[in-house]
């Protein structure tokens, strides 16, 4: 009976040690890397992505200027009202102040509406223009990771605060950008504005 117990215990310990050894071997073969996706939009980033961002900026420049102009007019009205109220020596009609306040409220509502409208339009347009490019980048990153033997590639931009320390050699951002920019053009191109 003691012999059977000893054999079972020996087999149990052998099984545990074998499992631990195989787990350590699997971990030793695991290759992890980081990519900072914010670098894709930098001057030395992914050319196709940077060009699409510039095209979006150009496309929305008139709307941005319109919003800036409304904000400037709103600020000017606030300054005018402040000047009118700050000088007690000059009599000011209450109707004049009220008219400027009404105009300011109207402009504030208009600015709020146009800002929300512009944000929604920009969001939809960004999805149309950048969506296919981001999908292509994702596919290329998958291909790159497999070809280089990486088991996992993390986006440093998304989990950066969760990473306490890592070897800078694990950052493959520049290598991936160079790889992506040298690839032949794909079907992922920016759609023309409507």
Q: Show the 3-state SS of 14-43.
A: HHHHHHHHHHHHHHHCCCEEEECHHHHHCC
The helix or strand, by DSSP H or E, that contains position 147, with its residue range, turns out to be helix 94-148
Residue 70, pLDDT score = 95
Mean pLDDT of 10-22: 42
180: pLDDT strictly greater than 70: yes
Query: Residue 61's pLDDT band (boundaries 50, 70, 90)?
Result: very high
The alpha carbons of the chain give a radius of gyration, in whole angstroms, of 30
Q: What is the Cα–Cα distance from 172 to 110, expressed in whole angstroms?
A: 46
Tens-place pLDDT, residues 74-124: 999 999 888 888 877 778 888 888 898 999 999 999 999 999 999 999 999
> Side-chain half-sphere of 151: how many Cα atoms within 13 Å?
7
CA–CA distance from 50 to each of 37, 65, 86, 177 (Å)?
A: 12, 22, 49, 12
Dihedral pair phi/psi, residue 64, rounded to 5°: -65, -40
What's residue 15's pLDDT?
42
By percentage, how much of the chain surpasses pLDDT 70?
A: 80
Q: What is the reported pLDDT for 162?
A: 76
Average pLDDT over all residues of the chain: 83
Q: Which helix (H) or strand (E) holds 154?
A: strand 152-155
* pTM of the predicted structure, to 2 decimals: 0.71
- pLDDT of residue 6 exceeding 70: no
């Amino acid at each position: 009976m003691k012999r059977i117990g000893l054999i079972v215990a020996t087999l149990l310990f052998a099984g545990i040690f074998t499992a631990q050894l195989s787990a350590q071997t699997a971990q030793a073969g695991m290759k992890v890397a980081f990519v900072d996706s914010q670098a894709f939009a930098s001057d030395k980033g992914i050319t196709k992505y940077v060009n699409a961002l510039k095209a979006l900026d150009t496309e929305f420049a008139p709307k941005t200027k319109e919003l800036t102009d409304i904000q400037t007019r709103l600020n000017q009205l606030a300054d005018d009202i402040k000047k009118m109220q700050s000088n007690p020596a000059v009599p000011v009609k209450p109707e004049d102040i009220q008219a400027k306040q009404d105009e300011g409220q109207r402009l504030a509502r208009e600015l709020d509406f146009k800002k929300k409208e512009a944000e929604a339009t920009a969001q939809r347009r960004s999805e149309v223009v950048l969506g296919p490019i981001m999908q292509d980048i994702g596919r290329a990153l998958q291909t790159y990771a497999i070809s280089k033997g990486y088991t996992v590639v993390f986006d440093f931009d998304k989990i950066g605060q969760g990473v306490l320390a890592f070897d800078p050699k694990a950052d493959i951002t520049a290598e991936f950008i160079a790889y992506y920019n040298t690839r032949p053009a794909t079907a992922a191109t920016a759609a023309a504005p409507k």
